[in-house]
Structure 1
């Protein structure tokens, strides 16, 4: 007897950027007939990076927020809790926790009525704004605009040919320690932001000094950056999502820093999904599969060490190429939206059998 396809029900309370991987995987699997997917629309909306979903009537909580803190009330009301920023000690002591995996913003590479209706459910821009949303989402080949479609990832592209100079990329934003559009900043967060900014600025200056024209580095343009590091601001033409991903593809080594709350940032995930060699600040979170040093990345804990690790990869071509290959394999096995959602569904099935 053929197994019944899994049923997934999602109350559309949020359409947060951090959850686009999840939505893309759900809609892709539903399109191929591997799951039955239903969105519930008559619900109160918010913009949090977390959502409850039902998988064959099991309450599953997906938490893609930056913070490693566990949402205690949601933990009590779910059967399994998939967390993006998952600490080892929490995984060992809280039995419902599972790793969500590396997050980055990605959208379907196909025209999807389900995707379109999902976005329109959250559009409050009037008819003109809704029209723009329709055009953008139906433009699956990115001929009229740009969205990071999944087809742009998971295939290895060599950044340089024989005889061409190796390039290092580090485009990053600075965090204003005094204000934030979304929430009030605590004293601890203010200190954290100041520390992050100081390290990022010093790292960029050292990379420019060492690698000169082969350093694709700088900070994003905003009021705070203009005040503290105006000479390091990157032209906005290079930092649009389309141009940024083009720059990533042209680089041989990409640098990642931890995000707020010490989370693994979306840039790190994009580098892995594009099969890049990576130098990253240290992190210690639980991920599916094996992703470790020195096979998939090299770690640094100071601006000076960052430059040393980039030089190590530049001076060891075999190591760089092996890292590229290992990262693209990891991405294909664990990071495609379909694989990510399929793993969640399989873990739910396994949990119900125990």
Structure 2
């Protein structure tokens, strides 16, 4: 069944071309941070009661909430930010839950191109999945530090580890068209050389 037919039937199919877009900078850049919280107790059940896993997810949730609180406090007028809905999030951060029309995969991909600056946070010390999506869309990326060295040497994102660094990173990108464009162009080049489907296949062949 073709992608077009599956979409007509309501299947949430995402193609790499849905993400690809040329970098465009504006005078009024907008910021995007859409994420989720994890229920540490539920996660622990799938890891044989490992308390360390619970601590890790608690820290991740706290970190993501810090990012949301910071955006709300400092940048809410120029940002889209919030959480996808689940039972745990309703208990601990219901004010940040967004309607599903904003958090579904297709809505997220569609809205992504409207935001020049995108924030992502990883899991298990890994690179966040959305990091790759932001690269494919040639966004200016702010991320927690990558624990694994990416292919190439592009310096194509800005890292932060705490609230002050996050504020500084956002303000730096908000105030500089040239910096935003520089990062966006680097990510477009990175995608074309390492992450586009044809390059992934080619690189796996060697």
TM-score using structure 1 length: 0.54
Q: Residue 107 of structure 2 aligns with which residue?
A: 243
Higher relative contact order (CA 8 A, sep 6+): 2
Structure 2 unpaired stretches of 5+: none
Q: SS in structure 2 opposite 1:262? A: coil
The answer to whether the 8 Å contact 1:154/1:332 transfers is no
Higher Rg = 1
Q: Residue 149 of structure 1 aligns with which residue?
A: 15
The answer to whether the 8 Å contact 1:199/1:303 transfers is no
Query: Does 2:187 match 1:327?
Result: yes
Q: Residue 57 of structure 2 aligns with which residue?
A: 193
- Say how many residue pairs are matched: 204
Q: Residue 264 of structure 1 aligns with which residue?
A: 127
Query: Does 2:150 match 1:310?
Result: no
> How big is each residue's C-alpha offset from its partner over 1:267-286, in whole Å with a ceiling of 9 and x where there is no partner?
00100110000010001313
Q: Residue 36 of structure 2 aligns with which residue?
A: 173
Q: CA deviation at 1:181?
A: 9.4
Distance 2:121 2:106 in 1: 21
Distance 2:157 2:60 in 1: 20
Query: 1:273 is matched with which residue: 136, 148, 160?
Result: 136
Per mean C-alpha deviation after superposition, the further-off stretch among 274-283 and 246-255 is: 246-255
Query: Does 2:197 match 1:337?
Result: yes
Distance 1:338 1:181 in 2: 38
CA RMSD of aligned residues (A): 2.0
Q: Residue 139 of structure 1 aligns with which residue?
A: 4
Q: SS in structure 2 opposite 1:139? A: helix
Provide runs of 4+ in structure 1 moved above 3 Å. Answer: 140-146
Q: Residue 67 of structure 2 aligns with which residue?
A: 203
Distance 1:216 1:283 in 2: 24
Q: SS in structure 1 opposite 2:168? A: helix
Q: SS in structure 2 opposite 1:178? A: helix
Distance 1:256 1:169 in 2: 9
Using a 3 Å threshold, how does the CA distance of structure 1 residues 140 and 256 change in structure 2: closer, same or farther? farther
The answer to whether the 8 Å contact 1:334/1:340 transfers is yes
Q: SS in structure 1 opposite 2:138? A: coil
TM-score using structure 2 length: 0.91
Structure 1 unpaired stretches of 5+: 1-133, 348-354
Q: CA deviation at 1:155?
A: 3.2
Query: 2:117 is matched with which residue: 239, 253, 276?
Result: 253
Structure 1 or 2: larger strand share? 1
Using a 3 Å threshold, how does the CA distance of structure 1 residues 182 and 325 change in structure 2: closer, same or farther? farther
Q: CA deviation at 1:308?
A: 1.6
> How big is each residue's C-alpha offset from its partner over 1:23-53, in whole Å with a ceiling of 9 and x where there is no partner?
xxxxxxxxxxxxxxxxxxxxxxxxxxxxxxx
The answer to whether the 8 Å contact 1:333/1:339 transfers is yes
